[in-house]
Structure 1
Amino acid sequence: MNCLIVDDDEFSRNVIKHFVNKTDGLTVLEETDNAADAFTVIKTKEIDIVFLDVEMPEMTGLDLMKTLDDMPQIILVTSRASYAVEAFEHNVTDYLVKPVNYARFLKAVGKAEANLKASNITVENQDEVFIKADNKIVRLRLSDVYFIEALSDYVIINTDTRKYIIHSTMKGLEKKLPESDFIRVHRSYIVNFTKITSIEDTSVVMPSKTIPIGASYKNRFMKKLNLL
């Protein structure tokens, strides 16, 4: 699992880095001393776990989480236990109080690993998926899906007849859907290519909604079009 360590204190970063390096299955992909750089890393690289300090100058760890649509597993690392309540309101994976010991570190990593393995959507074949919604497992035909939109730590799967809200990330969902039919057009939207009725300059027109095309997704989207 790829890890990002974010802490403005070098000693604290080194402690977590030491723990990561001695744990099988973990890799320190990046480390940084500020939340702004962390935001860029999370958006551009495949990060599974973020060890995130809360108290940092300019932007706190909690502020960083508020900017993220697709959150990796977040393990907060801070010297003040008083942040615990607010942390879990943001659905963090776990909360470590400094000084962190290795046993407690492993427990937090175990939670993150379990969350990553627990899938809320399983592709049975290229035509159908099973999703966990409304306290049951539902079979869903991909051809019935019009678009998918982000909602904090959830996603909404929109069909022609109803919406399904599931606990997942756009990044994780994007990897599981067939590229032949689905494409991400915005950080908050994945569309079924076969359901598009028309394309305007900066938006995709679906039967029930007009969806913006994000600047960073436009080039890839336009390459997929079979223009005459």
Structure 2
Amino acid sequence: MSKGSILIVEDEPLIADDLAATLESQGYHISAVLDEGIDVFKHLENHSPNLALLDVKIAGEMDGIQIAEKLEIPFIYLTSFYDQKTLDRAKKTSPSGYIVKPFSEGDLIANVEMAFARTIKPDIQQRKPEKLFLRNGQEIVSMMSSDIVYVEAFDNYANVYTEKGKFIISHTLKSIEKTLIPLGFHRIHRSYLINFDHIDSISENYVFLKGLKVQIGKSYRKDLMDRLTMI
């Protein structure tokens, strides 16, 4: 099982390759290796890494700090710059770490592990099911998170499927994801978030949960398979 998924934003190919190889050797999944801000946000439309490693000075319209200001996931800075102006800008974004180049493998792993310990709930550290409240018309309905089989994006709304029926709520899938991922849910498609505990079987292109069939997006399949404990 993967320790977690990490996005690398680094425009020096040798450093980027070394980062990816080191992290993969330690059991982390690399969501992508990118070198421009515009590509970062395109990637995040369809993927949900747990952590980002951001080079402060990269090509393109945004530097690493400007990217961090728009991120909704924890991040660690990688940089050759530690002047006071850069440090002051970086501190305002509340990073999970600040690694100065050149750095050792030990520095990298220590910062990543500390970031996961402080701010990230990896798959093996999921919280217990929680009681959630959904607005259903004029009524507010309570249910345990474990009762939800999967959630489907529907424009600016979401369909919440349970064994007892479907609820439509006025939240986007992305906003719901922040609540459900730590409770054992997993994104398998740009439009679907599933309860991992309800998986009955997996075929080439679909996951079957409690008699329901949900499509797996091609770009999400590796993340899903990495999470499985195979025997």
Q: Which has the higher contact order (CA 8 A, sep 6+)?
A: 2
Structure 1 CA distance for aligned equivalents of residues 136 and 113 of structure 2: 34
Contact 2:23 2:109 in 1 (8 A): no
**Taking structure 1 as reference, are residues 189 and 4 closer, same or farther at Cα in structure 2, changes over 3 Å only?**
closer
Structure 2 CA distance for aligned equivalents of residues 56 and 184 of structure 1: 34
Paired position in structure 1 for 2:26 = 23
**Taking structure 1 as reference, are residues 15 and 122 closer, same or farther at Cα in structure 2, changes over 3 Å only?**
closer
**Taking structure 1 as reference, are residues 188 and 143 closer, same or farther at Cα in structure 2, changes over 3 Å only?**
closer
Aligned to 1:87, what secondary structure does the other structure show?
A: helix
Match of 1:184 among 164, 171, 185: 171
Contact 2:8 2:34 in 1 (8 A): yes
TM-score by length of 2: 0.52
Aligned to 2:17, what secondary structure does the other structure show?
A: helix
Which letter does structure 1 place at the counterpart of 2:80? Answer: S
Paired position in structure 2 for 1:222 = none
Structure 2 CA distance for aligned equivalents of residues 100 and 34 of structure 1: 22
Q: CA deviation at 1:65?
A: 2.0
TM-score by length of 1: 0.53
Contact 1:75 1:94 in 2 (8 A): yes
Q: CA deviation at 1:87?
A: 1.9
Task: In structure 1, list runs of 5 or more residues that go unmatched.
Answer: 130-141, 147-158, 160-177, 191-215, 218-228
Q: CA deviation at 1:28?
A: 1.4
Paired position in structure 2 for 1:201 = none
Paired position in structure 1 for 2:94 = 91
Paired position in structure 2 for 1:13 = 16
Aligned to 1:117, what secondary structure does the other structure show?
A: coil
Structure 2 CA distance for aligned equivalents of residues 184 and 84 of structure 1: 36
Match of 1:38 among 33, 37, 40: 40
Q: CA deviation at 1:17?
A: 1.4
Contact 1:84 1:95 in 2 (8 A): no
Task: In structure 2, list runs of 5 or more residues that go unmatched.
Answer: 141-159, 178-189, 192-231
Paired position in structure 1 for 2:58 = 56
Which letter does structure 2 place at the counterpart of 1:81? Answer: Y
Aligned to 1:8, what secondary structure does the other structure show?
A: coil
Matches within 5 A, 1:6-155: 6-24=9-27, 26-57=28-59, 58-68=61-71, 71-82=72-83, 83-114=86-117, 115-117=119-121, 124-125=129-130, 128=131, 142=133
**Number of residue pairs matched by the alignment:** 144
Which letter does structure 2 place at the counterpart of 1:76? Answer: Y
Structure 2 CA distance for aligned equivalents of residues 100 and 72 of structure 1: 23
Structure 2 CA distance for aligned equivalents of residues 189 and 66 of structure 1: 21
Q: CA deviation at 1:80?
A: 0.8
> Residues 172-227 of structure 1: CA distance to partner in whole angstroms, max 9, x if unpaired?
xxxxxx6555452386689xxxxxxxxxxxxxxxxxxxxxxxxx99xxxxxxxxxx
Contact 2:23 2:29 in 1 (8 A): yes
Structure 2 CA distance for aligned equivalents of residues 183 and 47 of structure 1: 25
**Taking structure 1 as reference, are residues 101 and 184 closer, same or farther at Cα in structure 2, changes over 3 Å only?**
same
Aligned to 1:100, what secondary structure does the other structure show?
A: coil
Structure 2 CA distance for aligned equivalents of residues 85 and 59 of structure 1: 17
The share of aligned pairs that are identical, in percent, is 19
